[in-house]
Chains A and B, each alone.
Chain A
Amino acid sequence: MKNSLGREVPNSFTPYMEDSLTSFTPIKEKDKVVKTEFLDSIKECFDLLKLSDGMTLSFHHHLRNGDGVLNLVLKEIKERDLKDITIAASSIFPVHEEMCELIENGNITKIYTNYLSGPVAKTITSGKMKDLLIMSTHGGRPFLIESGKLKIDVSFIAAPCVDKAGNGNGVEGKNACGTLGYAIADLKYASKVVLVTDTIKDKLEFVDLDRQYVDYVLKVDSIGEQKGIVSGTTRITRDPVGLIIARNTAKLIDELGLIKEGFSMQTGAGSISLAVTQYIEKLMIERQIKASFALGGITSYYVKMLESGLIKNLYDVQCFDLEAVKSYKNNQNHIGISATEYAGPHNKKALVNKLDFVILGATEIDVNFNVNVTTDSNGIIIGGSGGHFDTARGAKTTIITSQLLRTRLPIVKDEVTTITTLGKDVDIFVCERGIAINPKRTDLIEKLKDSTLNITTIDELLKKAHQITGIPKNVPHKDKIVGVVLASDGTVIDSIYQR
């Protein structure tokens, strides 16, 4: 079966169709817990929960590549040789390598996630998992959970600090990671909830995780490594090509009139995006313009702008560095939000829909403006949507920045290897050799008709890339589908093949 994008969809999945409406009937929240029990052994925890074959276990990724909680649970699954377990983790990182063996041995047979990198990505791409990998988005995941399409038996929530009643937060304790936005749907809708913590205090400064949902608190020596939560990409580019792209992007945003009193933005943690943010900051200071809010994963760069009064509020679903963690703890204008509040397709008030612009990256972009951030040009899984799909869909203007070539590989393609984000949601592509505007955005083309920037077309950029590199051969894939890429409403945009 094919979807409206012409991509293959495995049986039993709903194909993506242009303008299909997301219907949403929420399931009931979990029953209120009368008394939270405290445990100090994972074995006892598994016994009490009667963890057995075929169950679905969920995790959040706020500790990123410093996470120790998923690995702790994996060890016990292996110890008990549980089979056919589904893992629903909001992201999976290289630190979770132990999962490979459990996939190969049939302990884990299905995975839901929004982002996947490292050894687990390689194992799944090579076709070793029995069932499919389901790649969702940061907004799509809570939609699946809250609509009952993804039923969680037990959620193991890494909680940096817990009080004696069973409330938790992300800002105290030795492994503070900041907001816990990706865990909120799990907390409210999983059948059973376990907070896993290494720090218990009499009283918390404030509560991110309400004890009424918490069945058990599991005390361990360490939930992970705080320094691992810092994303590997949170540095401003020093590459001269990257800086040209950033400068032109800032100029473009300015020419489009997007830097005006009360504007809002999401620029993420990519090295080019951070440089754009710095240029925007300079413009704001010069013209005394203040933004109403900045959204998304929050870095120290946004914290600085909040503190200097350039941004009124930060809405933070995920802290990208320790300065952000500290600011979330201490600054009341730095507000934590759940993934549903951030990007839920079932939430009309989702903050992504209020964004004036978002700046995103790309592994590939095609002549129809479809973007791939899920696989590389050889079809190997290297990431995933995260909030890419959701913010592109929600924001009024979606800008993709990237170099035109990555070593010899053109970023612009006739067709992307895997569609992560739909071309109809992408407005502008900025690279060092020009700026291409989606022909559907005639309003933007009109606004930029007298621009001194190098405005060109995506076909022209493809031609330029091929002139430099030669025409790349298409890489054939095997027939077996190993995963699907979902739109935020759970319909299938594309399939991922064995390589």
Chain B
Amino acid sequence: MKIGIAGSFDSCDALITVIENDKLEIEIESIVENQFKDEIEKVIRTTLQALDLNKVKVICKDKGALNYTIRARLLSAIARMSDDNA
């Protein structure tokens, strides 16, 4: 099973793990969950859609990252996954 990880637990960053899966699953844990959970999920979904990826599990542990950070971390995690960096 391929896994890719990118990001960190630092403030304003997110740690994103992408795992090969039989369907699309997204798990979000965020310090700004009450205010921005939907927004974070939207960013992840649109990024995956653009790549036509729908058989992955994405785990996002967020410390208040902005949308572009989340997108960048997600793309890096996916890239590392295809590099078989597990």
Question: Chain A interface (Cβ within 8 Å of chain B)?
Answer: 377-378, 407-409, 468-470, 472-473, 475
Contact = CB atoms under 8 A, between A and B. Distances in A.
Please give me the 5 A-B residue pairs with the lowest Cβ-Cβ distance, nearest first.
Answer: A407-B64, A472-B35, A408-B64, A475-B34, A408-B32
Given A407-B12, A408-B12, A473 B35 contact: yes
A467 to B, nearest CB: 11
A84 B10 CA distance: 44
Interface in B29-86: 31-32, 34-36, 38-39, 63-67
24 contacts: A377-B34, A377-B35, A378-B34, A407-B11, A407-B12, A407-B32, A407-B63, A408-B12, A408-B32, A408-B35, A408-B64, A408-B65, A408-B66, A409-B35, A409-B64, A468-B66, A470-B36, A470-B67, A472-B35, A472-B36, A473-B35, A473-B36, A473-B38, A475-B35
Nearest to A377: B35
A475 B35 CA distance: 7
Interface of B: 11-12, 31-32, 34-36, 38-39, 63-67
Contact of A409 (B32, B38, B65, B67): B32
- Interface of A, secondary structure class, is loop
Contacts, number: 34
A469 B43 CA distance: 12
A378 B36 CA distance: 12
A378 B63 CA distance: 15
Contacts of A468: 66
A470 B39 contact: yes
- The SS class assigned to the B binding surface is loop
Scoring B11, B36, B63 by chain A CB atoms within 10 A of each residue's CB, the highest score goes to B36
A44 B34 CA distance: 51
A238 to B, nearest CB: 15
A309 B58 CA distance: 62
A409 B32 CA distance: 7
A407 B12 CA distance: 5
A275 B12 CA distance: 24
A415 to B, nearest CB: 14
Contacts of B64: 407-409
A470 B67 CA distance: 8
A81 to B, nearest CB: 38
A369 B77 CA distance: 42
Contacts of A408: 12, 32, 35-36, 64-66
A407 B35 contact: no
A404 to B, nearest CB: 13
A473 B34 contact: yes
Nearest to B31: A407
A53 to B, nearest CB: 39
A439 to B, nearest CB: 28
A481 B15 CA distance: 37
A468 B65 CA distance: 11
Contacts of B36: 408, 469-470, 472-473
B57 to A, nearest CB: 24
Given A407-B11, A407-B12, A469 B34 contact: no
A473 B38 CA distance: 9
A289 to B, nearest CB: 39
The residue among A377, A408, A472, A473 with the most chain B CB atoms within 10 A of its own CB is A408
A186 B63 CA distance: 44
A419 to B, nearest CB: 19
A120 B34 CA distance: 23
A472 B12 CA distance: 16
Q: Which of A377, A407, A469 has the most CB of B within 10 A?
A: A407
Nearest to B67: A470
A120 B64 CA distance: 26
A407 B13 CA distance: 9
B66 A469 contact: yes
Given A407-B11, A408-B64, A408-B66, 12 more contacts: A377-B35, A378-B34, A407-B12, A407-B32, A408-B35, A468-B66, A469-B66, A470-B36, A470-B67, A472-B36, A473-B34, A473-B38
A472 B32 CA distance: 9
B43 to A, nearest CB: 9
A468 B64 CA distance: 12
Contacts of A470: 36, 39, 67
